[in-house]
């Protein structure tokens, strides 16, 4: 019965992701709907069954970091959170096939990255 309401309005997953984006300091309207849908699919694929909210929160924080850049993110979340997000970014760029790497690539292709972050992305053309 509750799934019926998903057809009439925004899905519970999109509302949960929007809440996570707000908590990360990023207004949900700044993230296009196709990006949100892809984030939801990636989070569902990579997260444990009961950890969807935590996966959304992690994804939202990384997206906010990538969109705002280090300084602006640090101003709103503190230096420790910015350093943690920076570490996640560096690890994702090195590993290449993690959820974080896929989120960064998604933001890159959606042209959401701050210039500071976008300059650090190197794509193999081969």
Over residues 52-105, the pLDDT tens digits come to 889 999 999 999 999 999 999 999 999 999 999 999 999 998 987 899 999 999
Q: For residue 126, name the pLDDT band (cuts at 50, 70, 90).
A: very low
Give the pTM: 0.85
DSSP 70: H
DSSP 87: H
Report which of 76, 39, 47 is spatially closest to residue 28, judged by C-alpha positions.
Answer: 39
Alpha-carbon span 69 to 22, nearest angstrom = 17
């Amino acid at each position: 019965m509750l799934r019926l309401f998903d057809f009439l309005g925004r899905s519970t997953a999109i509302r949960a992701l929007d809440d996570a984006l707000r908590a990360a300091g990023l207004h949900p309207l700044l993230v296009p709907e196709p990006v949100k849908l892809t984030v939801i699919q990636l989070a569902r694929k990579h997260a444990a069954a009961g950890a969807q909210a935590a996966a959304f929160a992690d994804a939202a924080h990384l997206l906010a970091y990538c969109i705002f850049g280090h300084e602006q993110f640090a101003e709103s979340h503190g230096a420790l959170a910015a350093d943690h997000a920076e570490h996640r970014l560096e690890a994702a760029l090195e590993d290449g096939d993690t959820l974080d790497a896929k989120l960064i690539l998604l933001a890159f292709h959606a042209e959401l990255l701050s210039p500071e972050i976008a300059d650090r992305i190197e794509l193999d053309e081969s």
